[in-house]
Chain A
Amino acid sequence: DAGITQSPRHKVTETGTPVTLRCHQTENHRYMYWYRQDPGHGLRLIHYSYGVKDTDKGEVSDGYSVSRSKTEDFLLTLESATSSQTSVYFCAISEGELRSSYEQYFGPGTRLTVT
């Protein structure tokens, strides 16, 4: 498996609290992604990064922000968690642009429950 770790692996938090999930890679890949996975929806892109301090929105970005201050770290922040953000969050990396036929490598996931 690619060198991708996510922390925490499990978290339970209350509605309205801020939450930050961390993705760390040791592959020096340029592109990093945050997805959420919910039953019946597959994987949906939240935000992605194409370099340090370069980020863009995905299809379900409302309520989420990201930051990438170093190549190896990509942070996902829920400013004020809501129950609809209960999900499994996956980080992924790729060496190059996906439309240029680079594959993605996924981290182990973070299971987040918002009560």
Chain B
Amino acid sequence: GQQVMQIPQYQHVQEGEDFTTYCNSSTTLSNIQWYKQRPGGHPVFLIQLVKSGEVKKQKRLTFQFGEAKKNSSLHITATQTTDVGTYFCAGPDSWGKFQFGAGTQVVVTP
């Protein structure tokens, strides 16, 4: 079955630095979604990518969907303490059921 892998599992970042987290699927995805979960909270939808090679930006966050629609990345520039949390990617399998990656937990050091 489909597998969605995220790397790294943990990311320690100094405030002001940039970092990237990656999402890889074993199968082609019709779309990919990114969610953020703050500590003690619930996942919140950030963005969705549908087209091959698509790039979308939300302020300091840049999301990219790979050309083969099997991978995606989230790049955060000038990390702030408000970026703390776990970032999940997720995509539907051929049956339409969503597979979530295990997430990248981001810790920001002031």
Contact = CB atoms under 8 A, between A and B. Distances in A.
Contact of B102 (A35, A42, A48): A42
B45 A105 contact: yes
A106 B33 contact: no
Q: Is the interface of A mostly helix, strand, loop or mixed?
A: mixed
A90 B42 contact: yes
Contacts of B6: 42
Interface residues of B, number: 25
Contact of A101 (B9, B31, B41): B31
Contact of A44 (B41, B45, B50, B100): B100
Contacts, number: 56
Q: Which one of B6, B31, B101 has the highest number of Cβ atoms from chain A below 10 Å of its Cβ?
A: B31
A70 interface: no
B42 A108 contact: yes
Interface residues of A, number: 24
A98 B102 contact: no
B100 A106 contact: no
A101 B50 contact: yes
A107 B43 CA distance: 8
Interface string B82-106: 0000001010100011111111000
Interface of A: 33, 35, 40-45, 48, 58-59, 90, 92, 97-99, 101, 103-109
